[in-house]
Structure 1
Amino acid sequence: MINKLVYSFIFYSLFKKSDGILYQMEIEQKNAVSLKQPEVVFLSFFGIGFAPWAPGTFGTVGTLPFLYLLGLMEAPFLIFVPFIAVFTAISCFIADYAQKKYKLHDPGWIVIDEVLGMSVTWLFLQSQDLLHLAIAFALFRFFDIIKFWPASYFDKEVHHGSGTILDDIISGIYAGLVYLGINATGLIS
């Protein structure tokens, strides 16, 4: 049972965009979207969202150097909360605008939601070393792909910018809480 779940998770995360007609439709819609548009540059995190496969994973990986450098500042994490909140609100607005403009719902090239979700998970870290950041990354990707409720509700039922962004924020909170639980056991130091 566990092996089947792990296999399904890996298969889904690598190949979820390659399911026939829907994938072809997304390719055609991508062609109408241009990196010359500022909203596309922002939402795709400077084009990372146009990675040929697993754009969400690439978007999350693209976030890690920034989070690592912020962690080196040794500033209290609570000072980052208002910035993430404002950035989330702006992202919801821009995502809503772009989805209406391009007539899309949560296209794969929008990865600013992964940037924000991973940033939320980062707020929970007890240590800023690469091991803790890697664990946070793995947990966030797991929860972002699985989408436990209420993340699944925002992903499937909320058809505007906030649905695109908030499912990843919720996944980031789940990942952060699980990270705290793992860290409390002493399994990671």
Structure 2
Amino acid sequence: MSQSHPLPMPTRRELFSNSNHFFAFGFGSGFAPKAPGTAGTLAAIPIYWLISDLSVPLYCVWLVVTFALGVYWCEKSSRALSVHDHPGIVWDEMVGYWLTMLLAPPDWYWMLAGFVLFRIFDIAKPWPVSLADRKISGGLGIMVDDVLAAVYAWLAMQLLIWLVV
């Protein structure tokens, strides 16, 4: 994103006093000066490690709840900053990573593979990810393109697991 002036950011105080900013900015990982989406995805890894033992139904509930909350938090944070899909808003990357890791073994090398696959598809935005990114607005739009990228990453991950395990 090339702009002549910097995008508005919540202050550190606002980050910790406003739950919408706190979660939308991935507990502060979205403050990374370079590649905040990558930083947000990295912030999702320890949480994945904590939730990886959930049963599949509970893990799916986790995904649905974090997606729904993400729509709300990202919408509120985006509106407060007057910037749609602010680069520092990384909750969508976090949920995308967790979706990528659905049914994956919780070993470090699978966590790394999921990270790489998700980042590739999130950055490349193959169709219909690119279409959703352009056409869907608000908090839903912020979340949906990353979830669609995660579906591609999940399919690639499942294929990789099937080939290796």
Asked whether 1:119 is paired with 2:88, we answer no
Q: Which structure 1 residue ranges, 4+ long, deviate > 4 Å from structure 2?
A: none
Paired residue total: 163
Q: 2:68 aligns with which of 83, 89, 93?
A: 89
Give the conservation status (yes or no) of the 8 Å contact 1:124–1:176. no
Q: Could you tell me which residue of structure 2 aligns to residue 8 of structure 1?
A: none
Contact 1:124 1:177 in 2 (8 A): no
1:104 maps to amino acid: V
8 Å Cα contact 1:154-1:164 kept in structure 2: no
Q: Distance in 2 between matches of 1:159 and 1:70?
A: 30
Tell me the distance in 1 between the aligned counterparts of 2:124 and 2:108.
Answer: 24
User: Out of 33, 40, 45, which is 1:52 matched to?
Assistant: 33
For residues 110 and 65 of structure 2, the distance between their equivalents in structure 1, rounded to whole angstroms, comes to: 26
**Paired residue secondary structure (1:123):** coil
Question: Conserved in 2, the CA contact under 8 Å of 1:124 and 1:179?
Answer: no
Letter in 1 for 2:144: L
Residue pairs, 1:158-169, within 5 angstroms: 158-169=136-147
Quote how far apart the aligned CAs of 1:39 are. Answer: 1.1
Pair member with larger Rg? 1
CA drift at 1:32 = 7.0
Secondary structure in structure 2 of the residue aligned to 1:124: coil
Contact 2:21 2:73 (C-alpha < 8 Å) held by counterparts: no
Instruction: Measure, in 1, the Cα distance between the counterparts of 2:84 and 2:141.
Output: 9
Deviation digits for residues 9-39 of structure 1, max 9, x if unmatched? xxxxxxxx4x352xx342xx12678313221
Partner of 1:176: 154
Aligned Cα root-mean-square deviation (Å) = 1.8
Once the two structures are TM-superposed, the CA of residue 111 in structure 1 deviates from its matched residue by 0.4
Instruction: Output the CA distance in 1 between the equivalents of 2:19 and 2:122.
Output: 26
Would the aligned equivalents of 1:113 and 1:165 in 2 still touch at CA under 8 Å? yes
Structure 2, unaligned runs of 5 or more? none
How does the TM-score come out when normalised to structure 2?
0.90
CA 1:103/1:20 → structure 2, altered by over 3 Å: closer, same or farther?
Answer: closer
- Structure 1 gap segments, 5+ residues each: 1-16
What is the alpha-carbon distance in structure 2 between the residues aligned to residue 181 and residue 83 of structure 1? 23
User: CA deviation digits over 1:92-140, x for unaligned, max 9?
Assistant: 1222222223211100110000110001001131x21101111011000
Q: TM-score, normalised by structure 1?
A: 0.79
